[in-house]
Amino acid sequence: MPTKKELLNRPIQHLDIKQHNVVSLVDAMRTMAYSSRDAARAADIYEMMLHDTDCGVILCLAGSLISAGLQQLFIDLVRNNMVDAIVSTGANIVDQDFFEALGFNHYMADDEYKYGAHDAMLRELAIDRIYDTFIDEDELRICDETTHQIANSLDPRPYSSREFIREMGAYLVRNGRTPQAGARDSIVLAAYEKNVPIFCPAFSDCSAGFGLVAHQHARQGKPMLSIDSAKDFYEITQLKIANPTTGVLMMGGGVPKNFAQDIIVAADILGVDASMHKYAIQVTVADVRDGALSGSTLKEASSWGKVDLTYEQMVYSEATLALPLIAGYAFHKNAHAARKGKKFATILDQVPVTA
């Protein structure tokens, strides 16, 4: 049996799109077929979305993307004003991004581990596996405990996940987990500094959930912090109302996709005649045949009045292959040149928010 140290020895390294000019490659794919053409059209739509400086760009993250080497790409989107709000699964933001911000790594697993032949052994070693990637569970427990401490440090009231994640950003600054202090950059930190709100609509479904359960358990009978998922929905709807033109750049489907699409209907229910998302891109490996949202087309979303049909593109590909082309294209075309940060988080501070 290999040792834990032997298995956790090749850290995942994050792709830096700034180093790879894919413009000519993507331009050439535009006149091919299948996924390459779709990826090129998605890149075109992302470029248009960024040129449209009125457009608030919402990035949706489902699936394990940060552990897969895409952390720096998303940091670059945030720091270059290419994203104005993020809706994500908790795992991407807490278990993976914040986890790396605390100084931990994900690790490459050899091919033989991919299909589960050695999972009982991994269990014994306290190594968690995501397909071809390893995580040290002991380190993950430190991440859980950190969210517990953050919860303990806050006023005991209902928080949106956005508010809590902002406190995670503040924690990183306070504790020197910044590039300025010699630590690595992270999405949570960049979003904190750029006033890009991050929503995790199923926030207890991640490492933070463990911290929150521990917090609530210890506070039984006393005032405690809670996570109000309705407040999340209320807040993101306020963004749509404050900034009517929106576009979505979605990795995978799931709760983030549904949540980001539902804000048009929510605005309508609040009496505001909100327009559909003007631009929409989804990168997914799922397909339509089971009716689930992860693979349902953007055309289907238009029947619900959520996505406009003019500028929408599905890209059927695993994200680590397609997203470097789409995001790298827009970056190297300098599509964001005229964009200033929308600082959506400050809007949410000004709007009298509920609860």
At 99, give phi and psi (nearest 5°): -55, -50
**Distance from the Cα of residue 144 to its chain's centroid:** 19
Q: CB 162 → a copy of itself: shortest distance, Å?
A: 13
Output the CA–CA distances (angstroms, integers) from residue 289 to 207, 246, 300, in the order listed.
32, 28, 13
Per-residue b/e over 61-100, b at no fewer than 16 CB within 10 Å?
Answer: bbbbbbbbbbbbbbbbbbbbbbbbbbbbbbbbbbbbbbbb
Q: CB 46 → a copy of itself: shortest distance, Å?
A: 17
Number of residues assigned to the chain: 355
Sheet strands side by side (includes 133-136): 107-108, 133-136, 127-130
Q: Which is nearer to a copy of itself, 190 or 286 (CB)?
A: 286
Q: CB 273 → a copy of itself: shortest distance, Å?
A: 15
Measured distance CA(200)–CA(215) in Å, rounded:
19
Measured distance CA(311)–CA(329) in Å, rounded:
17
Measured distance CA(298)–CA(311) in Å, rounded:
10
Q: Which is nearer to a copy of itself, 175 or 354 (CB)?
A: 354
18 belongs to the catalytic site: no
Q: Which is nearer to a copy of itself, 70 or 330 (CB)?
A: 70
Pick the catalytic residue from 306, 340, 342, 343: 306
Q: Which is nearer to a copy of itself, 126 or 173 (CB)?
A: 126
Q: CB 16 → a copy of itself: shortest distance, Å?
A: 7
Q: Which is nearer to a copy of itself, 194 or 278 (CB)?
A: 278
Q: CB 103 → a copy of itself: shortest distance, Å?
A: 18
Measured distance CA(121)–CA(137) in Å, rounded:
14
Q: Which residues are catalytic?
A: 306
